[in-house]
Amino acid sequence: MMPSSQVHRFLARRQTRRRLMDNDIYGNSSLIDALSSMSRNTRSGLSLATALQISISHHPCDLFTQLHNLVSRGMALNTACHKILDDMSESAENADCMMALHVIALASEVGGDIARQLDCLIDTLLDRSQAKVERQTQAATATASIRLITWLPVVCGAWILSDSPAVRHVLLATPLGWACLTIGVGLNFAGRTWSKRMVRS
């Protein structure tokens, strides 16, 4: 009779092969969960490659599925990580994946307390995720303020024009009025554009 650990490993491999054959696309939203699974499995004595295989059976993500494909073809884990890094474009969207690959490659090459290394990586990714959420919240608040500042003068100006014939005559029937309207609209548009660039940066 097979030991329970071998049975679990066999079932994990079977589920992994089935998912890989289906060519499903999972994204990388479960990257932290997959790393947590790897940390638990390496802490229990499993190798890093085996922990990777088990983790994608429970928490599938594109990055680790691609990594597992290369390892299953006989490529060393650290070499597979470097190959994916070479093919990956450096962007803010790939920053977490690139960091995970660097840590896994280093852990595979150097060894040591791999579970602790993965735990430190998870803490870093969680901090980065929290900081990203805070930036998005601040950006949403700034965007709402931009809309208010942009449309408030327009609404007030329209109300004054409709309420006061004298103001309407000056703004719409004299060169000075048209100059004021042109400058006001231009400054409003420039301020909105500049504020949007500040928020996006």
Q: How many CA atoms lie within 13 A of 151 on its CB side?
A: 6
DSSP type of residue 182: H
- Residue 151: both structure tokens together: 């449309």
Grouped pLDDT means (10 residues each) for the chain, 201 residues: 54 48 50 89 88 86 88 89 86 83 89 88 87 80 83 86 85 87 87 80 68
Distance, CA of 27 to CA of 31 (rounded, Å): 9
Contacts with 70 (C-beta within 8 Å, 6 or more apart), sequence order: 79, 80, 83, 84
pLDDT reported for residue 7: 55
> Which pTM was predicted?
0.58
